[in-house]
Amino acid sequence: MSLRFDVAAHPGALAYKLLAGLVVPRPIALVTTIDAAGVVNAAPFSFFNVMGAEPAIAVFAPADRDDGTPKDTAANLLANGECVIHLCDEAVAAMMVECARPLPPGVSEVPRAGFTLAPSERVRSPRLAECPVALECRVLDIRKYGENRLVVVEILLAHVREGVADPSTWKVDYAQYAPIGRLNSPDGYARTTDRFTLRFPSED
Ligand SMILES: Cc1cc2nc3c(=O)[nH]c(=O)nc-3n(C[C@H](O)[C@H](O)[C@H](O)COP(=O)(O)O)c2cc1C
């Protein structure tokens, strides 16, 4: 016997609780953007993934606030179309979570969380020096479905901490890289340190 939950009939908080608990672990994009005054905003989004490599595309989904206004990240992206997506390991996990604090627009989460800014190359949004991976991105599309906004970005440039990938092959060394994932909201997380391999199927 299986339990049934009519998601289409009951979208919203319960559907979120169930789906965000089931579809796990989710990678976490810690996204920096800038506003018109140059204030740097940082916020995590676990409705996120890379969707392709030619072109290199990522998608994340900042839901609107309860009052129907876009979150600061979405507002900045609608205004200038540039961001940096960071992947986080356990060393910066608590700092990442601090960036989820709802601060008023124009107030940066960055100093409060303890991150250091470093300049980006292809976008004006700076990156967070403590994160092992930073992906400079430009917006391709922002689509609204109900209270969700799907932000589709092209990844222009990847900054990868030395040791995490071999620069001659770009193979990632998981002894050097263990990003965290999100489990159920609000406070469940997973490590990526327990791994196994399966042989990829061939034609014969
Ligand atoms: C690990 C984590 C993942 C999150 N994922 C999302 C998400 O996918 N979509 C969303 O709208 N909010 C998500 N949040 C909440 C936002 O980070 C939070 O609303 C934040 O204040 C938005 O910041 P902003 O207004 O500066 O953009 C997440 C929070 C945490 C801690």
3-state secondary structure of 51: strand
Instruction: Pick from 17, 46, 147 the residue to mutate for probing ligand 1's pocket: most ligand atoms within 8 Å of its CB.
Output: 46
| Domain contains 164 | yes
Specify the ligand 1 atom closest to the Cα of 64.
11
Tokens of 76: 């900045």
Specify the ligand 1 atom closest to the Cα of 44.
17
Q: Rounded to whole angstroms, what are the CA distances from 1 to 4, 5, 7, 24?
A: 9, 13, 18, 23
**Ligand 1 centroid to residue 167 C-alpha, Å:** 33
Q: Are 86 and 128 within 8 A, CB to CB? A: yes
| Domain contains 199 | no
Q: Round to whole Å and give the CA distance between 197 and 41.
A: 38
| Domain contains 7 | no
| Domain contains 11 | no
The total of structural domains in the chain comes to 1
| Domain contains 19 | no
What is the pLDDT tens value at each position of the chain, 204 positions in all?
999 999 999 999 999 999 999 999 999 999 999 999 999 999 999 999 999 999 999 999 999 999 999 999 999 999 999 999 999 999 999 999 999 999 988 999 999 999 999 999 999 999 999 999 999 999 999 999 999 999 999 999 999 999 999 999 999 999 999 999 999 989 999 999 999 999 999 987
Write out 97-108 in H/E/C secondary structure. Answer: HHCCCCCCCCCC
| Domain contains 4 | no
Look up the CATH number of the domain holding residue 116. Answer: 2.30.110.10
Residue nearest (by alpha carbon) to ligand 1 atom 4: 45
Instruction: Check if 72 has its Cβ closer than 6 Å to any atom of ligand 1.
Output: yes
Instruction: Check if 62 has its Cβ closer than 6 Å to any atom of ligand 1.
Output: yes
pLDDT at 52: 98
| Residue carrying structure tokens 């989820």 | 100
Instruction: Check if 55 has its Cβ closer than 6 Å to any atom of ligand 1.
Output: no
Rounded to 10 degrees, the C-alpha dihedral 7/100/104/140 comes to: -70
| Domain contains 21 | no
Residue 112 sits in which domain range?
26-183
